[in-house]
């Protein structure tokens, strides 16, 4: 078996992004579009508000009306316009969001008014346009409200609703088939025998896929057995845009995933100079039976290694496929609260807790950093990106922290 060359981390990331392209677009109902990326410019067809609307509860009047007491001639609630006209000497009781009756050009808030005997007077001067929202104040007709490439969040959903864009063109979410491999792996909830361990990777990776905006598809657990693995690969590649397996990518006698990845795709790297997550394979599958290119990631079996590799190399790819332009999480400079001893021969991603104190970030590494110890990742809000080099970092040294609790901004 040939050992893959050790690919520098930055080069591995470049390769992933180089072979990853945006997926196709589809029409989606606006309220199902949360988290997606818009694939068209959206223009308003109607102004908002579509009529002159009151911005307050109060009285609709003519601003320049010389009358000191005005007669209340009717009520205009938010809703259909009543057959009311405001003449000099008149006022119409009005609520927020109600259409301004013809004739009126201002609204006086109820708190600035005094009522008596069906009449009202105001304790301050009224100016034309007071508390009236002109047509199109928020959105003008034919205005560009959202441009293609915008990530759709709650405000964007609201804008689509108010501009009556019930259907919108958005990039497809990547579907991601996730497979656990290993004859020792058993389903959580099932009885366990000596030598077996529970499958944590598939559930952790599927959750990561969801958080990255993809649609996970479980392929279950497959033992280290070639025919079964081959079937799982076929199934995953047929059904999904991305195929992720965990385990079986090191140099062991029964590490069969490697061979199958080579059989199905073109391998772009097979080992990455990162810690954890060195045995990570990336391949692409361009076959006539598939409508478009499939990506394969062979992630390490060790739970932390597979999640860190996902974070570093898979997540940016999923976001790019989904049409996002910001592919990287924000980083901050942080001060170490303790010394770190390390080998320094690979880029290292240590799991840490960041805390804002005295005007700066402080980073505390979350205990033992072995690649199987999920407890080091649970509750961590940052990965400290420690470059190749220094074998020892001192307390108070400044390091780069990737904020894995924040959405991509770069
Ligand atoms: P492998 O890369 O297949 O040699 O696996 C490396 C280590 O990760 C072994 O200790 C495996 O038991 C463990 N491992 C592999 N797959 C999983 C999984 N799905 N869930 C939890 N641990 C796993
Ligand atoms: Mg294995």
Mutate to test the pocket of ligand 1, among 206, 246, 253, 373 (most ligand atoms within 8 A of CB): 246
SS3 31: helix
Q: Is the CB of residue 202 less than 8 Å from the CB of residue 180?
A: yes
* Ligand 1 proximity of 284 Cβ (cutoff 6 Å): no
* Ligand 1 proximity of 187 Cβ (cutoff 6 Å): no
Ranking 2-6, 20-24, 392-396, 401-405 by mean pLDDT, the lowest is 2-6
* Ligand 1 proximity of 184 Cβ (cutoff 6 Å): yes
Measured CA to CA, the distance from residue 229 to residue 70 in angstroms comes to 85
Tens of pLDDT, residues 331-386 = 999 999 999 999 999 999 999 999 999 999 999 998 898 999 999 999 999 999 99
The share of the chain scoring above pLDDT 90, in percent, equals 96
Measured CA to CA, the distance from residue 121 to residue 57 in angstroms comes to 15
Tens of pLDDT, residues 291-345 = 999 999 999 999 999 999 999 999 999 999 999 999 999 999 999 999 999 999 9
Residues 6+ apart with CB under 8 A from 159: 42, 139, 145, 146
- Which pLDDT score, from 0 to 100, does residue 2 have? 66
* Ligand 1 proximity of 277 Cβ (cutoff 6 Å): no
Q: Among 41, 7, 14, which residue's Cα sits nearest to residue 320?
A: 14
**Dist. CA 69 → ligand 1 center (Å):** 83
Measured CA to CA, the distance from residue 44 to residue 48 in angstroms comes to 9
Which tokens sit at 77? 């609630």
DSSP-derived secondary structure for 252-318: STT--HHHHHHHHSEEEESEESEES--S-EEEEE--TTSSS-EEEEEE-SSHHHHHHHIIIIIHHHH
Res. 238: pLDDT tops 60: yes
Which tokens sit at 295? 């990506």
* Ligand 1 proximity of 221 Cβ (cutoff 6 Å): no
Tens of pLDDT, residues 249-304 = 988 888 999 999 999 999 999 999 999 999 999 999 999 999 999 999 999 999 99
Tens of pLDDT, residues 188-237 = 999 999 999 999 999 999 999 999 999 999 999 999 999 999 999 999 99
Mutate to test the pocket of ligand 1, among 302, 304, 308, 370 (most ligand atoms within 8 A of CB): 302
Rounded to the nearest angstrom, the gap between the alpha carbon of residue 294 and the centroid of all alpha carbons in its chain is 22
- Which pLDDT score, from 0 to 100, does residue 251 have? 85
């Amino acid at each position: 078996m040939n050992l893959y060359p050790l690919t520098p981390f930055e080069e591995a990331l470049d390769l992933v992004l180089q072979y990853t392209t945006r997926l196709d677009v589809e029409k989606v109902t606006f309220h199902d579009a949360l988290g997606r990326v818009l694939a068209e410019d959206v223009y308003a067809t109607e102004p908002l508000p579509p009529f002159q609307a009151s911005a307050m509860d109060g009285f609709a009047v003519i601003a320049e009306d010389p009358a000191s007491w005005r007669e209340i001639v009717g009520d205009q609630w938010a809703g259909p316009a009543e057959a009311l006209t405001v003449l000099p000497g008149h006022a119409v009781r009005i609520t927020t969001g109600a259409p301004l009756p013809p004739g009126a050009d201002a609204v006086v808030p109820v708190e600035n008014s005094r009522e008596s005997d069906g009449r009202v007077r105001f304790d301050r001067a009224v100016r034309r346009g007071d508390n009236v929202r002109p047509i199109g104040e928020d959105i003008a007709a034919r205005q560009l409200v959202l441009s293609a490439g915008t990530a759709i969040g709650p405000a964007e959903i609201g804008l689509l609703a108010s501009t009556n864009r019930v259907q919108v063109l958005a990039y497809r979410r990547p579907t991601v088939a996730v497979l656990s491999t290993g004859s020792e792996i058993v389903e959580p909830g099932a009885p366990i025998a000596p030598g077996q361990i529970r499958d944590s990777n598939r559930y952790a990776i599927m959750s990561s896929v969801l958080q990255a905006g993809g649609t996970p598809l479980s392929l279950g657990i497959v033992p280290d057995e070639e025919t079964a693995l081959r079937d799982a690969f076929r199934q995953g590649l047929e059904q999904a845009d991305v195929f992720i397996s965990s385990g079986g990518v090191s140099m062991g006698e029964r590490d069969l995933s490697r061979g199958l990845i080579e059989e199905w795709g073109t391998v772009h790297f097979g080992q990455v100079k990162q810690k954890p997550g060195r045995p990570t394979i990336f391949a692409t599958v361009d076959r006539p039976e598939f409508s478009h290119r499939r990506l394969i990631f062979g992630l390490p079996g060790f739970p932390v290694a597979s999640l860190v590799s996902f974070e570093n190399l898979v997540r940016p790819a999923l976001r790019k496929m989904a049409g996002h332009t910001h592919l990287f999480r924000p980083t901050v400079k942080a001060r170490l609260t303790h010394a770190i001893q390390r080998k320094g021969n690979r880029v290292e991603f240590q799991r840490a807790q960041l805390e804002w104190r005295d005007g700066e970030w402080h980073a505390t590494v979350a205990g033992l950093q072995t690649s199987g110890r999920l407890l080091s990742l649970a509750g961590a809000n940052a990965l400290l990106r420690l470059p190749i080099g220094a074998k020892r970092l001192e307390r108070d040294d400044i390091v780069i922290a990737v904020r894995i609790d924040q959405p991509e901004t770069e």
